[in-house]
Amino acid sequence: MTEHVYKHIEVTGSSATSSDHAIELAIAKAAETIKHIHWFQVTDTRGYIEEGKVKYWQVTLKIGFRIED
C-alpha cells in the first residue's frame, strides 16, 4: 500500500428529508471543489423542530482527502 498524507475539513449539511440526505449533500458540495476525498466521520447530528415535528436535520462531518504527491 502506498503511503499518503490526508487533510480534513469540517462541514455541516442540512436536509428536510433525512440525516443521510444531509450527509450526502455535504459530501457532494465538498466534492465540487476538493479532489481525492476518501472518508468522512459524523461528529454531530441535530435537528430543528417546528410544531412538534422534525423540520430538518443538520449533520456535521469531518471529510478527509488525500493531499496530492
User: pLDDT tens digits for 23-65?
Assistant: 999 999 999 999 999 999 999 999 999 999 999 999 999 999 9
The amino acid that residue 49 corresponds to is: I
If pLDDT is split at 50, 70 and 90, which confidence band does 1 have?
Answer: low
pLDDT at residue number 5: 93
CA 10 to chain CA centroid, nearest Å: 7
Q: Is the pLDDT of residue 2 over 60?
A: yes
Domains and CATH numbers, the chain: 6-66 (3.30.1660.10)
Distance CA 53, CA 11 (A): 25
